[in-house]
Structures are given as structure tokens and as C-alpha cells.
Structure 1
């Protein structure tokens, strides 16, 4: 599990990220991201609704997503708030496919962050 400083925990932070964040769509999840100061720690949140499946299935999807995010944190992700909204297809997807989609979305967010930093 990501450390507390790397988690979106407040409801207001979830709402702000989903409403004002940049959206990256996919077949398995929707990613919302808000860029912050590059010195700030990256924070991640997960929304897994009952449409994904029963509690066992939802927790499996959440654990898989957290595992992928932990790898990104080890690789040095900073300066962004990200909220993942899992879609029902995520319940049946193999880990490798979920990992590929989340990494694709995070790569797009990082490219956006890099282009913003070079303009400043």
C-alpha cells in the first residue's frame, strides 16, 4: 500500500481532482490528474464502484492498481494528484493488461507535466 503521503484521502481532494483534473480515458479505467508543484509527493486515489463486481472483486482490482502505483512511486513519480475510476471491464482483465493501461495513462500525465515545466 502506498504511504499515507502518497494517498488522496479527503473527499474534497477526490472531488477537486475528478472535476478539475485532466482526463485520460481507457477501456479499463478513467484517469483524472491534477498537476501540482514538482516538489510535492505524488498522490493516488482509487474509485471502485459496485458496478465492477462484488467486494472480493473490487478489492482485487484495487490491490492490483495499488501494486502498479507503488512501482511508479519507486521510479520517482512526483508533483501530481491522480484518481483512477475503475470500469467494470477491469474485473475480468489480466494484471498485465491493467498494468499496461495504467502505465499508458500515467505516461500521458507525465508528458503533460514535463511540457508544463518547460513552459514555466
Structure 2
């Protein structure tokens, strides 16, 4: 799981990343990345709307995305802020596909 230092928790930070970040879209997610000059560990945020499914489904999708990001954490450059928006198709997507999509976008936008 992601440590508190690796999570975006403030709404203003989400807004900054989504509005000003580079964008990478896939079949199941849309990823926004902003690189800051701060030399701190990368941070991740997740947006999973009610369109994805019930609360159980949304939390399952969020947990899967967090696991993928925790696994990819060493390959993300320091100071990067990443927000991942889950699309409705992510509810039915296998973990393997979600992982491949997130890793591809992280490699394009936030690789160390």
C-alpha cells in the first residue's frame, strides 16, 4: 500500500495536477502528471467516480490502482505528482491490463 507521504490528500493539489498536468489516456484510465522542483517522494491520487460502479466496485478499482502504483513507485521520478482517473471500463478490466496501462503511462510521463 502507499504510505501517506506518497498520497495526494488536498483537493487543491488534485486540481493543480489535473488542470496543469501532462495527460496520458488509455482504455481504462486517464493519467495526469506534474513534475515539481521539490525533491520529495512521488505522490499519487485517484479519482474513481460513481459512474465506475457501486461503492464496492469503486473501492476495488482504487485498491488495484494503489497496488500498481506502489509496485511502480521506484521507477517514478522524485517530485512527481500523479492523478489517475478511472474510467467506467476499469471495473471489468483484469488487474494485468490495468497494470500494463498504468506502467506504460508512467513510463511516458513520469519515468525517473
TM-score of Structure 1 vs Structure 2, range by shorter chain: over 0.9
Distance in 1 of aligned mates of 2:79 and 2:12: 18
Rg larger for:
1
Distance in 2 of aligned mates of 1:4 and 1:79: 15
The equivalent residue for 1:9 is 9
The equivalent residue for 1:118 is none
The runs of 5 or more residues in structure 1 that have no matched partner are 115-120
Q: Deviations over 1:20-47 (max 9, x none)?
A: 0001111100000101136221000000
Report the aligned-residue RMSD.
1.3
SS where residue 59 of structure 1 aligns? helix
TM-score with structure 1 length normalisation? 0.87
Q: How does 1:75-90 map to 2 (within 5 A)?
A: 75-77=74-76, 78-90=78-90
Aligned residue-pair number: 111
Q: CA deviation at 1:72?
A: 1.3
Matched, 1:97 2:97: yes
Moved over 4 A (4+): none
The runs of 5 or more residues in structure 2 that have no matched partner are none
The equivalent residue for 1:31 is 31
Point out the structure with the larger helix share.
1
The equivalent residue for 2:19 is 19
